[in-house]
Structure 1
Amino acid sequence: MTGAPTGDGVPADTGEERFNSGRVRVGLILGPVAFAAIALWPGLGVPREAQMLGAIIALMIVFWVTEALPLAATALLGPTLAVLFGVTGARTAFAAFADPIIFLFIGSFILAEAMFAHGLARRLAYSAIASPWVGASGFRLGVAYCAVTATLSLWMSNTATTAMMFPLGLAILTEIGRQRAEDTAFRQYAMALMLLTSYSASVGGMGTPVGTPPNLIGVGLLRELAGIDIAFTTWMAFALPVVIVTVGAIVLILLYPRARSITLGADTVAIVRQHLDRLGPLTRAERNVLVAFGVTVTLWMLPGLLQIVLGGTHVAVRRFNALVPESIAALVGALLLFLLPIDRARQSFTMTWERAQRIDWGIILLFGGGLAMGQLADSTGLSKGMGEWVAQMFPDAGTVGLTLVFAAAGVILSEAASNTAAANIVVPMAIAVAQAAGISPLEPALAATLGASMGFMMPVSTPPNAIVYSSGHVPIGAMIRHGVVLDVIGYVVIVVTVLLAGPMLR
C-alpha cells in the first residue's frame, strides 16, 4: 500500500495525506504495545526465544500494515531486534539476505529495467495497440490495451507497467474527449480504461514467479519452510489460467458495457501510430535486450520442458536443475546486458551499473527480512506453536477450509497493506497452520500468495491504483465498487484453481 506519489507527476490528495499521517502515528504507538504485550505475557508455552521472536514479528506486522517505518526499514528491523534480544546470532539472522531467490529478484529486476529503459516494452505495447485488428473499435482498443498491460506485467513490475501504459491511455482519452468530453458514455469509458490499466497490471503479475514480489515470497517460503519446490513452468501452468480468467472478467465487467458506443476517430488511431513511429526502427540496444531476455526465459522454462519429455527423475533433468537454477538463469541474462555492446567504439553497453542501481532494492530487502523471520520462526519453534494454536481454532478445516481461509486473509490484507508485506505476513502463517494440522501447506500457501496480489478497492491499496486515480477519470466510489466485485471474483478463481491444481503440483 502506498499513498499517491508526489514526485513523479501524481498529485497527492490532502485527505489521503491525513489518513496516512494518522495511520503512521497509530502504528508507532500500537507496534511497541504489541511487542511489549507478547514479550511480557506469562505462560505462552513456547521457548523464550520463540516468544521474543513472536513479539518482534507482531511489531513488524503492525509497522508493515501502518507503514510506520518504510517497508524495507521494517524488514531490516526484524533481524536486528532478533540479534539484540538474543533470539539468534547475526550470521543466522541475516543469512536469508543471501538466499538464491534474492538473486533471482536482482536478475529479473535488471532485465525489466533494461526493457523499460531502452523502450522495448513501450514498442511492444504500441505495436499491439496500433494493430489493424483494433481498427476504430473502442472495445477492441480496450481489449488490446488490457492484454498488453497484463502481458508486460508478467515480466515487469506492476508499478512500472502501469507507469508506462498510463500516459498512452491518457493520450487516447484526450483525443476521444475532444469531441465527447461532456458525453456520459465517454466518461464511463475513460473510467473503465483507467481501471483496466491498474487492474490488468496487478493481475498480470500473478502469471509468472517473477511477475510480482508476492509470487517469489510464496515460492521461497514454500521451499525454505516446507521443502516444496515449484518450477517456473509449473507456476505458469496453474497461474496463467487465473490471470486469463480474471482479466476476462475485468473486460466483461468493466469494459464491454461501456465500450459498445465508443468509436475511435482518425485522430485517435493516429496518436497511437505516432507514438510507435517516434520510436523508429528496432535499435541495437533493444535487440540486445531481446537476446538476454530470450536466453533467460529459455533457461527458466527448459527444466519443465525436459521434465515433460524425459521425466522428472532423468539424470539430465536433475543435472540441469543443479547447474542452472532459476536464480542463476536470471543472473546469466542480467550479466549478458553488461556484456552486449551498443557501440563498441565508445565502449557503450546495454546495461550500466548506474542504471542497474535504479532497480527496487527496497523490495529485495523486504523479501530478505520476511524470509529471515520465516526461517527463525521455524527454527525457534514459534511456527509450530502458533500453527498448533490456530489449527485448534479450525479443527476440521482440512485442505479446502484452510485454502478458503488463507485466500481470504491474503485478499483482505492486500487492501490494507502492500502486496509484498501482505504475503510476508500471511504465507508463513498458512504454512505453519497447515503443517500443524497435518496437511500439505501447498494449497493454503499458494492461495495466500495469489490473494496477496489483489488490492483493487482503494487508491492506497497498490501503486497502480494510486497512479490511475490521479488521472481524475476514476471516482473513488467507482474504484471501491468495482474493486469489491473483482476481489470476490479473484478470490473464487484463486480458490478453485489452487484446489484443482494442487494435487497435480505435489
Structure 2
Amino acid sequence: MATCWPALWAYRFYLIVLCLPIFLLPLPLIVQTKEAYCAYSIILMALLWCTEALPLAVTALFPIVLFPLMGIMDASEVCIEYFKDTNILFVGGLMVAIAVEHWNLHKRIALQVLLIIGVRPALLLLGFMLVTAFLSMWISNTATTAMMVPIGHAVLEQLQGSKKDVEGGNNNPTFELQEECPQKEVTKLEPRTQKTQEHHRFSQGLSLCICYSASIGGIATLTGTTPNLVLQGQVNSLFPQNGNVVNFASWFGFAFPTMIILLLLAWLWLQVLFLGVNFRKNFGFGEGEEERKQAAFQVIKTQYRLLGPMSFAEKTVTVLFVLLVVLWFTREPGFFPGWGDTVFANEKGQSMASDGTVAIFISLVMFIIPSKIPGLMQDPKKPGKLKAPPAILTWKTVNDKMPWNIVILLGGGFALAKGSEQSGLSEWLGDKLTPLQHIPPSATAVILCLLIAIFTECTSNVATTTLFLPILASMAQAICLHPLYVMLPCTLAASLAFMLPVATPPNAIVFSFGGLKVSDMARAGFLLNIIGVLAITLSINSWSIPIFKLDTFPSWAHSNTSQCLLNPSNSTVPGGL
C-alpha cells in the first residue's frame, strides 16, 4: 500500500487522460444536443489544458476528431481553421524575428541602448526594461529573456566587485545603493554584509525587471505575443463582417500607450521595492559617480566590441525589418487610405492583402538574399570548389527555432470558436449571460480582467484566451455591448502573469538563475497585476474608444438585433466612459 500512491502519482497524467472523457460522458449522453456535445469537447480540452496531462498542441487537435464524430462540423471545415490567415501572420512574423535573432541584431540593439542609458541604479533598471520590452515587441519573449538575463548578471558581477576586493574589505566604487554610513567603530564584517544584502536585492530587482518587461512588451504589437493573434483570429472567425477592425495599426494605437504606462509604473514599483525610496541615490547623484560607472560600462563595451562591425546580413535584416513595420502600419491604417485600400483593393474597396501577406513577403525576400556580398567561399567539404554563401534565412534555421506547436494551438482555438458558433453553444451562453446588462460595462471589464489575470497565473495565456474570448464575445452580443470592449482588455490581462515562476517562460528563466524565491516573485507580481488591470482599464475607457468605436454596438456584431432595438440604452457605452 505504501507504494500505491507514489505509483498512482507517477501515472497521474495517463489516468487523467483516460478518466476525464469517461467522467464527463453524462453531459452528452443525458443532454443529446449539439450544444451539449460542443460543451463536452470544450470542457474536456479546458481541463486537459489546465492539467497539461497532454502537450497543449496535442490537446488542440481534439476538435479534428470530436467535432465530426459528434456531428458539429465536417472534418474539412474543422481542418481549415488550423491554418487561417492569423496563423500565416504568426509564421511570417516569427520568420523575421528568427532572422533578427540569428544575426544577433537584437543583441546589438540591447547593448547600444545600455551604453546610452548608463549604469546608475534606477537608470540601469529602466535601460534593461526598455530594451527587453522593445525586443519582445518583435521577437519571442522567451528568446529576449534568455539573451538579456546573462547580460544583466554579467553587469551585476562587475557592480559587486571582484572576490579579491570583497575578501580584502575594500569598498567597490562601481555601485552603491544607499547613502554612505558615517564612520563608526564597527567591524569590517558589518558593512560587507550590508553591501552583500543590498547587491542581492538589486540583483533580484534586475532579474524581475527583465522577465516582467518581456511580458509587458509583447502586448504592444499584434505579433508580440500569441494571445493578441488569438484575439484577431477569434474576431475574424466569430464576426466575419467586422471589416478587419483589429489590424496591426489599430492594435498598436491601442496597446502601445498601454504598454508604456504599465512599463513605467512597473519600473517605479520595482525601484521602490528593491532599491528603496532614496531616489537621489538611486539615480546616482553624488561624488565619484564616474568611478562607479567604469566597471559595469566596461562589461557592456566589451560585449558590444565582441560583436564587431555590422555585417551585410545585419544591415539587410535591419532594412527589411523596418520595411516590414512600415508596410504593416500603412496597409490599412484607418485614419488615411493605405496601400491595401487603394492599390490592392477588391471591387468593394477592401484590401485583398493582409498583415500575413506582408510578413510572408518579407520572409521570402530573406530566403532569396545572400548573407554575404561578395559571397564566394571555399566549400569545406570539397577543397578547391567554390560555393555561394547561405541566404539571410535558411529553412534549417527556421525549422530549428519555429514553435510549430503554437501554430497548432492557435488552430485548435479557432476550431473551438467555430464549433461553438456552429453548434449554437455561443448563442445559448449569450442568452444565459443577459443578466449582466444590469452591471455597468466598466465594472464588467474590470472584473473580467481580474479573473483572466488570476487564471493565467496557472494556465497558458494562449489556452486562457482561447477558452474565454468566444464566451466573452457571446456575452457582449447578449447585452448589446461592443464585443471588443471586453475582448481587448481580457486579451491584455492574459499577459499579466507576474506572480509565479511557472506562469510564463520568462519567469521560469529568471527563477532558474537563482537568487529569487517564489515569495519574492509573488510579492512583486501581486501589486503589478493590480497596476496592470488599472492601466488596461484606463486604456479601454479612453483612447481605445475612438480607435475601435467602442461607444456603439456595431452592426457586424448583431446576433439579437430586436433586443438591441428594444433596449437602445444598452447599445452604447454609457457616457463614453
Q: Same fold (TM over 0.5)?
A: yes
Seen in structure 2, the aligned counterparts of structure 1 residues 118 and 315 have a Cα distance that, compared at 3 Å, is: closer
Seen in structure 2, the aligned counterparts of structure 1 residues 447 and 25 have a Cα distance that, compared at 3 Å, is: farther
Q: Distance in 2 between matches of 1:80 and 1:363?
A: 19
Seen in structure 2, the aligned counterparts of structure 1 residues 321 and 168 have a Cα distance that, compared at 3 Å, is: farther
Aligned to 2:126: 143
Aligned to 1:308: 335
Describe how 1:207-218 pairs up with structure 2 within 5 A. 207-218=220-231
Describe how 1:344-363 pairs up with structure 2 within 5 A. 344-345=375-376, 346-357=388-399, 358-363=401-406
Q: Shift of residue 23 of structure 1? A: 7.9
Deviations 1:19-52 (A, max 9, x none): x97984785377425632432343xxxx722211
Deviations 1:156-176 (A, max 9, x none): 111111111111111112222
Aligned to 2:64: 79
Contact kept in structure 1, 2:331 and 2:340, CA below 8 Å: no
Contact kept in structure 1, 2:237 and 2:418, CA below 8 Å: yes
Residue 326 of structure 1 is aligned with which of 355, 362, 369? 355
Residue 385 of structure 2 is aligned to residue 369 of structure 1:
no
Query: Which shifted more, 338-347 or 416-425?
Result: 338-347
Describe how 1:102-141 pairs up with structure 2 within 5 A. 102-131=87-116, 133-134=117-118, 136-141=119-124
Where 2:482 maps in the other structure, the secondary structure is coil
Letter in 1 for 2:86: I
Q: Shift of residue 500 of structure 1? A: 2.2
Seen in structure 2, the aligned counterparts of structure 1 residues 387 and 309 have a Cα distance that, compared at 3 Å, is: closer
Aligned to 2:432: 389
Where 1:93 maps in the other structure, the secondary structure is helix
Describe how 1:179-218 pairs up with structure 2 within 5 A. 179=166, 182=193, 183-218=196-231
Q: Distance in 1 between matches of 2:482 and 2:340?
A: 22
Aligned to 1:453: 495
Q: Distance in 1 between matches of 2:11 and 2:126?
A: 40
Seen in structure 2, the aligned counterparts of structure 1 residues 169 and 374 have a Cα distance that, compared at 3 Å, is: same
Aligned to 1:7: none
Q: Shift of residue 390 of structure 1? A: 3.0
Q: Distance in 2 between matches of 1:23 and 1:221?
A: 33
Q: Shift of residue 375 of structure 1? A: 1.0
Seen in structure 2, the aligned counterparts of structure 1 residues 401 and 41 have a Cα distance that, compared at 3 Å, is: farther
Q: Shift of residue 447 of structure 1? A: 1.3
Q: Distance in 1 between matches of 2:16 and 2:131?
A: 38
TM-score with structure 1 setting the length: 0.89
Aligned to 1:14: none
Seen in structure 2, the aligned counterparts of structure 1 residues 29 and 341 have a Cα distance that, compared at 3 Å, is: same
Deviations 1:242-270 (A, max 9, x none): 11111111110102554445774422211
Q: Shift of residue 490 of structure 1? A: 0.5
Q: Distance in 2 between matches of 1:314 and 1:359?
A: 31
Letter in 2 for 1:112: A
Where 1:415 maps in the other structure, the secondary structure is coil
Q: Shift of residue 241 of structure 1? A: 1.4
Where 2:433 maps in the other structure, the secondary structure is helix
Q: Shift of residue 85 of structure 1? A: 2.8
Aligned to 1:5: none
Q: Distance in 1 between matches of 2:451 and 2:344?
A: 37
Aligned to 1:273: 301
Q: Distance in 1 between matches of 2:29 and 2:62?
A: 20
Letter in 2 for 1:192: G
Letter in 2 for 1:442: L
Aligned to 1:469: 511
Where 2:371 maps in the other structure, the secondary structure is strand
How many residue pairs align between the two structures? 480
Q: Distance in 2 between matches of 1:313 and 1:145?
A: 37
Tell me, which stretches of 5 or more residues in structure 2 are unaligned? 1-6, 167-171, 173-191, 276-280, 377-387, 550-577
Where 1:159 maps in the other structure, the secondary structure is helix
Contact kept in structure 2, 1:406 and 1:430, CA below 8 Å: no
Contact kept in structure 1, 2:155 and 2:299, CA below 8 Å: yes
Where 1:500 maps in the other structure, the secondary structure is coil
Letter in 1 for 2:104: G
Q: Distance in 2 between matches of 1:284 and 1:312?
A: 29
Where 2:520 maps in the other structure, the secondary structure is helix
Contact kept in structure 1, 2:330 and 2:339, CA below 8 Å: no
Where 1:94 maps in the other structure, the secondary structure is helix
Where 2:222 maps in the other structure, the secondary structure is coil
Where 1:349 maps in the other structure, the secondary structure is coil
Where 1:385 maps in the other structure, the secondary structure is helix
Contact kept in structure 2, 1:79 and 1:373, CA below 8 Å: no
Where 1:88 maps in the other structure, the secondary structure is coil
Deviations 1:348-367 (A, max 9, x none): 21000111112111111100
Identify the structure with the greater helix proportion: 1
Query: Which shifted more, 212-221 or 72-81?
Result: 72-81
Aligned to 1:3: none
Seen in structure 2, the aligned counterparts of structure 1 residues 388 and 350 have a Cα distance that, compared at 3 Å, is: same
Residue 291 of structure 1 is aligned with which of 319, 332, 335? 319
Deviations 1:460-500 (A, max 9, x none): 00010000011212221110011111111101111221122
Aligned to 1:38: 27
Where 1:173 maps in the other structure, the secondary structure is helix
Aligned to 2:83: 98
Instruction: Percent identity, please.
Output: 29
Where 2:500 maps in the other structure, the secondary structure is coil
Q: Distance in 2 between matches of 1:399 and 1:121?
A: 41
Q: Distance in 2 between matches of 1:222 and 1:49?
A: 22
Q: Distance in 1 between matches of 2:103 and 2:94?
A: 14
Deviations 1:376-409 (A, max 9, x none): 11121111112222334x2413532432232222
Query: Which shifted more, 342-351 or 317-326?
Result: 317-326
Residue 495 of structure 2 is aligned to residue 485 of structure 1:
no
Q: Distance in 2 between matches of 1:482 and 1:331?
A: 40
Q: Shift of residue 82 of structure 1? A: 1.4
Q: Distance in 2 between matches of 1:326 and 1:27?
A: 40
Q: Distance in 2 between matches of 1:137 and 1:459?
A: 28
TM-score with structure 2 setting the length: 0.78
Please give the root-mean-square deviation of Cα atoms over the aligned residues, in Å: 2.5
Seen in structure 2, the aligned counterparts of structure 1 residues 370 and 111 have a Cα distance that, compared at 3 Å, is: same
Q: Distance in 2 between matches of 1:26 and 1:165?
A: 40
Q: Distance in 1 between matches of 2:463 and 2:83?
A: 19
Q: Distance in 2 between matches of 1:27 and 1:200?
A: 35
Residue 155 of structure 2 is aligned with which of 162, 172, 175? 172
Q: Which structure ranks higher in relative contact order (CA pairs < 8 Å, sequence separation ≥ 6)?
A: 1
